[in-house]
């Protein structure tokens, strides 16, 4: 990551978007893959098992190299996709609090700086 300001893109379903979890997760995954490729994402984060599974399927990623727990309920791994290796954080849908995604972003930002520096 360069010294310029990092940016994060959050994709989420509208409340009441539908009760078919697999369809909603698939739509989120498709949007995520499109944006990750277009913006040359430095990392990916998926919240909830259905969303993580759909994202991995959309990226055609069969395995995650698990590196450890980033936060309680949030696991850091590495995947090979989009022509490179990317950090991936999967967070349980019911774990964490309102600050969890911000905390994950800050921790990932710090790791990217460490690798670049």
The pTM (predicted TM-score) of the whole model is 0.84
What is residue 35's three-state secondary structure?
helix
Residue 1 token pair = 């990551």
Q: What is the mean pLDDT of residues 70-82?
A: 94
Q: How confident is the model at residue 77 (pLDDT cuts 50, 70, 90)?
A: very high
DSSP H helices, the chain, are 21-38, 49-58, 100-116
User: What are the residue boundaries of the structural domains of the chain, listed by start?
Assistant: 21-116
Mean pLDDT of 34-39: 92
List, for residues 82-117, the tens digit of each pLDDT value: 889 999 999 998 888 889 999 999 999 877 665 555
Q: Which of 73, 81, 70, 78 is nearest to 105 (CA)?
A: 70
| CATH number listed for the domain at residues 21-116 | 3.40.980.20
Question: In the structure encoding, which two tokens stand for residue 51, read together?
Answer: 């969303």
Longest dimension (CA), the chain: 45
Average pLDDT of 9-37? 85
Average pLDDT, the chain: 86
Instruction: Give the DSSP H/E element, type plus range, for residue 67.
Output: strand 65-71
């Amino acid at each position: 990551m360069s010294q310029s300001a990092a940016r994060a893109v959050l994709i989420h379903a509208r409340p009441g978007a539908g009760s078919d979890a697999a369809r909603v997760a698939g739509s989120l995954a498709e949007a995520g893959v499109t944006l990750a490729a277009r913006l040359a994402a430095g990392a990916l984060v998926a919240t909830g098992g259905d969303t993580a599974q759909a994202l991995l399927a959309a990226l055609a990623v069969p395995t995650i190299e698990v590196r450890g727990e980033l936060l309680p309920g949030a696991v850091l791994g590495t995947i090979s996709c989009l022509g490179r290796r990317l950090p991936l954080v999967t967070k349980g849908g019911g774990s964490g609090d309102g600050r969890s995604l911000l905390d994950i972003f800050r921790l990932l930002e710090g790791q990217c700086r460490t690798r670049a520096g």
